[in-house]
Structure 1
Amino acid sequence: MTSASEADWRIFRGDGLPRPVTLPPAPPWRRFSPTPAVRPELPYLIQPEHADVVNASLHLRRPLLVTGPAGTGKSSLARAVSHELRLGELLRWSINSRSTVREALYQYDAIGRLRETTLSRDRGESEPSIGTFIRLGPLGTALVPSTTPRALLIDEMDKGDVDLPNDLLTVFEEGYFDIPELTRLPEDMADVEVQTADHRGSVTVHQGRVQCAEFPVVVITSNGEREFPPAFLRRCVRLALQVPDADRLRAIVTAHLGEEALSDAEDLIDTFVHRRALGELATDQLLNAVFLRNSGVNLNAKELLKAVLHQLTGEL
């Protein structure tokens, strides 16, 4: 990568003077595309023993529960599996304190249906199909029957309600769910087209039940903030990721930014390992620092390096 001079990297000057600027290329891990299929797929480095655990979950058709500190590549592992196995666009369910299994399976817009039905009657038109107002969530879309399974990332499970893992047990065990709004329909309306979470169009739901043909590839991440119930753990294959040591950090830098970037990054790796011992850091913070150094940024400035390698826990 061609290095810019130290002065050139400052796009924002803080002097109040408008000026035309051209943003430099983004880091590889911060490049996006409106079409997910054409986004660049970054290399994912995984130890052989960890890859074996992933393979065990694939053979057993069981969810993979990945634990470890922030920045150890838990979410990236799901993307890597989906990409390598050609399972299509990765479905993602990001958990928060209000997340429910119901919303992950499907959403029904009853108010929208009532409004559109009333308007259609007033215009003398036929009523819109109920399927127009039902959209499958990421978990529901993953359970749509297909010849190859879909990949689903359930991110940060420990952020959810304490009952959320138990609420997933039936779906994980049986591989299906019912949509009550459709199961109550008469026999002549047994097949209903509903929307999917990936906005690829619609799928047909028969008699209100979505039943997978192949259990999806499910990767569940957790930062280890709380324990899960035994019944939930029994249905998962567990993988614990550790923070990478200095040698592994060198391999990660090389894989993402090349040998040239690594040759000028030894002091940054040493600083990263030292600061990580004082408080939690994520590996992508090191990549950010190396990328800036490789772009001509002087990271000897104490405040700038502190801003990039800020600790996620503990004292700054």
Structure 2
Amino acid sequence: MNWMPYYRGDGRAREAELAPPPPWRTFPRQSEHAQYRPPAGMTDAVNAALHLRRPLLVTGPAGSGKSSVIHQVAHEMGLGDVLRWHITSRSTLAEGLYRYDALGRIHAQNLGHPSNGADQPSQDDIAPFLQLGPLGTALLPAGRPRALLIDEIDKSDIDLPSDLLEVLEIGEYEIPELVRYRDPLVHVREWGSRETREITHGLVQCSEFPFIVLTSNGDRDFPPAFLRRCIRFTMPRLTTDMLTEIVSAHLGRTSDPQAAELIGQFAMRIRQGEHLAVDQLLNAIALLTASDGPGGDQAEQLRTLLLRELARD
């Protein structure tokens, strides 16, 4: 079978209807709490973190499912939408807590335009130029803890884990711009929402410590002071049985001989130390075992393309 339903590389215009996407590539993105299968020991680690009000640090290779657990916990416990802070080498504690558009405020002052859009002289309202960050939103007082994913903490600047210590220990922070502001009460927009929360004298104090999951690919070591404040869990090496359960939860094709072969070969390559991600396996099975999927040499070429080791060019 020659699988060539869309682009053909001949420069001719044609209408091609795309097949439905795999479940994990539908948009807007949906939580996959029902498909997640926690590895052995993960539920105990989660419950320990919840009980002790400590962050959960999950370490494992890329694509091993480290960040998936928080969506299932948030769904099962009714913690609302998961807040996400994706870490880069430029991330700072301040941006995790709040964002302040100082230049925008200065520009509005210079123009003399009302910051709230009303037909009246500007009152220099600071609120439109402030937004809480994901960590800052998670620490707002609430009746239920919020769920916060701090993704790839090992990609951060060397100082960020240490900078987090005090905030995670005392569960509060100040917004200096509001501490100095003339009005004691300011409504500030939450992260990922149009909702605002009233902040008094620039101080935010949590009433329920959030459920925080930090993920790490294991690319660096963290200070002991940071590690002792976390519950730590290392993702186990994926086995054939674990991969079969994951594929079954997402695709339900594990009875297909070709899917079983792909799972077995994938597990063997992981045992041999290759760096592969679970979503590579899901992609390969979704494409290669489809009823209208490729066959022959084309299937082999696509298998090689989809299952390339991540640590090599």
Deviations 1:135-163 (A, max 9, x none): 11111111111111111100011101111
Q: Please report how far the alpha carbon of residue 259 of structure 1 lies from its aligned counterpart in structure 2 after TM superposition.
A: 4.5
Deviations 1:145-200 (A, max 9, x none): 111111110001110111110000010001011000011123xx111011111123
Compute the RMSD of aligned alpha carbons: 2.0
Structure 1: 5+ residue runs without aligned partners? Answer: 1-5
Contact map agreement 1:275 1:311 (CA 8 A) in 2: no
Equivalent residue number for residue 311 of structure 1: 309
2:136 alignment partner AA: G
Map 1:231-242; keep pairs closer than 5 Å: 231-242=225-236
For the residues of structure 1 that align with 2:151 and 2:19, how far apart are their CA atoms? 31
Equivalent residue number for residue 269 of structure 2: 275
Deviations 1:37-96 (A, max 9, x none): x65645110135221111100001100000011121101112222222221111111111
Equivalent residue number for residue 173 of structure 1: 169
Contact map agreement 1:120 1:127 (CA 8 A) in 2: no
Equivalent residue number for residue 184 of structure 1: 180
Label 1:26 to 1:157 Cα distance change in 2 as closer, same or farther (>3 A).
Answer: same
For the residues of structure 2 that align with 1:9 and 1:147, how far apart are their CA atoms? 54
Q: Secondary structure at the match of 1:242?
A: coil
Q: Please report how far the alpha carbon of residue 257 of structure 1 lies from its aligned counterpart in structure 2 after TM superposition.
A: 0.6
| Counterpart selection for 1:56 from 20, 30, 48 | 48
Structure 2 residue 20 is matched with structure 1 residue 25: yes
Equivalent residue number for residue 75 of structure 1: 67
Structure 2 length as normaliser, TM-score?
Answer: 0.91
Structure 2 residue 149 is matched with structure 1 residue 157: no
For the residues of structure 2 that align with 1:39 and 1:194, how far apart are their CA atoms? 27
Contact map agreement 2:62 2:277 (CA 8 A) in 1: yes
1:163 alignment partner AA: D
Structure 1 length as normaliser, TM-score?
Answer: 0.90
Contact map agreement 2:54 2:231 (CA 8 A) in 1: yes
More moved, 104-113 vs 83-92: 83-92
| Counterpart selection for 1:248 from 221, 242, 251 | 242
For the residues of structure 2 that align with 1:180 and 1:231, how far apart are their CA atoms? 26
Q: Secondary structure at the match of 2:67?
A: helix
1:205 alignment partner AA: I
1:307 alignment partner AA: L
Structure 2: 5+ residue runs without aligned partners? Answer: none
More moved, 260-269 vs 10-19: 260-269
Q: Secondary structure at the match of 1:74?
A: coil
Q: Secondary structure at the match of 2:245?
A: helix
For the residues of structure 2 that align with 1:88 and 1:135, how far apart are their CA atoms? 19
For the residues of structure 1 that align with 2:122 and 2:52, how far apart are their CA atoms? 48
Q: Please report how far the alpha carbon of residue 264 of structure 1 lies from its aligned counterpart in structure 2 after TM superposition.
A: 3.7
Equivalent residue number for residue 115 of structure 1: 107
2:94 alignment partner AA: R
Map 1:202-221; keep pairs closer than 5 Å: 202-221=196-215
For the residues of structure 1 that align with 2:265 and 2:102, how far apart are their CA atoms? 56
1:211 alignment partner AA: Q
Q: Secondary structure at the match of 1:218?
A: strand
Label 1:13 to 1:121 Cα distance change in 2 as closer, same or farther (>3 A).
Answer: closer
Q: Please report how far the alpha carbon of residue 313 of structure 1 lies from its aligned counterpart in structure 2 after TM superposition.
A: 1.5
Label 1:228 to 1:76 Cα distance change in 2 as closer, same or farther (>3 A).
Answer: same
Q: Secondary structure at the match of 2:41?
A: helix
Equivalent residue number for residue 293 of structure 1: 288
Q: Secondary structure at the match of 1:146?
A: coil
1:83 alignment partner AA: H
Give the number of the structure whose residues are more often helix, by fraction. Answer: 1
For the residues of structure 2 that align with 1:299 and 1:100, how far apart are their CA atoms? 49
Label 1:118 to 1:14 Cα distance change in 2 as closer, same or farther (>3 A).
Answer: same
| Counterpart selection for 1:195 from 179, 189, 208 | 189
Contact map agreement 1:75 1:221 (CA 8 A) in 2: yes
Q: Please report how far the alpha carbon of residue 303 of structure 1 lies from its aligned counterpart in structure 2 after TM superposition.
A: 2.5
Label 1:260 to 1:168 Cα distance change in 2 as closer, same or farther (>3 A).
Answer: closer
For the residues of structure 2 that align with 1:279 and 1:294, how far apart are their CA atoms? 23
Label 1:260 to 1:124 Cα distance change in 2 as closer, same or farther (>3 A).
Answer: closer
Q: Secondary structure at the match of 1:75?
A: coil
For the residues of structure 2 that align with 1:67 and 1:251, how far apart are their CA atoms? 21
